[in-house]
Amino acid sequence: MKRLIFVLPALFLALSGCATVPYTDRQQIMMVSAEEESQLGATLFTDVKKSSKVSTDATMNSMVSSVGRRIAAAADRPEYKWEFVVVEDKTVNAFALPGGKVAFHTGIMPICQDESGVAAVMGHEVAHVLARHGSERMSQQQALSIGSVALMAAVSGSSPVVKEGVMQAYGVGAQVGVLLPYSRSHELEADRIGMILMAKAGYDPRHAVSFWERMLANKNGSSSLSFLSTHPSDQKRIDELKGFLPEALKYYKGR
């Protein structure tokens, strides 16, 4: 098993390929295939649902699923098996896993307020999936020393250390559902793409700015705002969101 897990740098380079982020055209180094990525996401999402209490609130689930389907349609990745759940957790959080798996904590719903707020969060999370940020981070970390052939074997194996390492690379920490920080560049890229996806789905992207302003206004030193803690959280970020608006509004036709 150890030989499968630890890979020489030369093997990493041999397995690596290039990818391009939609809408931004940024080039990425990618050693995880789309198929492996989707399989990994499905495996981890199964763990999330087993380890968390999935909400039975029909209204919340209906809204998240409805918005999710619209944003997913705008993302235009029919090969992904999109799935959206609401998790009973007071922390203000949401996260996405590769292959189209998205979870909202109940704690973020009051700040979302309505369908447009949910769309702002959903657009951001789906953008992470679309841009393959998790796999890019794994590749940058040399896949936590896991070769692409061994990736799924390691995750489905018995080593909790290896499994936790892979989950962290995709942004799910030791306490399942607690998002670990992406880089600032990934977060801003997800903001930009997320606003475009909102607009394409028929949601006014200006509501994304309103959502993040509410997040900042509701912070008040609260330790429960784990979603905010993993994102750039100063006024400069709000300004950058506003700077993305002209591009996003080109895609907005309204409903």
Q: What is the pLDDT of residues 221-230, one digit of tens each?
A: 454 444 554 5
pLDDT band at 157 (very low <50, low <70, confident <90, very high): low
User: Contact at 8 Å (CB) between 112 and 4?
Assistant: no
User: Contact at 8 Å (CB) between 218 and 227?
Assistant: no
Residues 36, 37, 83, 125: which is the catalytic one?
A: 125
- Please indicate whether residue 29 or residue 7 has the higher confidence score (pLDDT): 29
Q: What is the pLDDT of residues 113-136, one digit of tens each?
A: 999 999 999 999 999 999 998 888
> Between 184-200 and 235-249, two packed helices, what is the crossing angle to 10 degrees?
40
pLDDT averaged over every residue in the chain: 80
Beta bridge partners of 17: 30
Answer yes or no: 125 catalytic. Answer: yes
Q: What is the pLDDT of residues 20-39, one digit of tens each?
A: 999 999 998 888 788 888 99
pLDDT band at 252 (very low <50, low <70, confident <90, very high): very high
Distance CA 189, CA 131 (A): 8
Whole-model pTM: value is 0.78
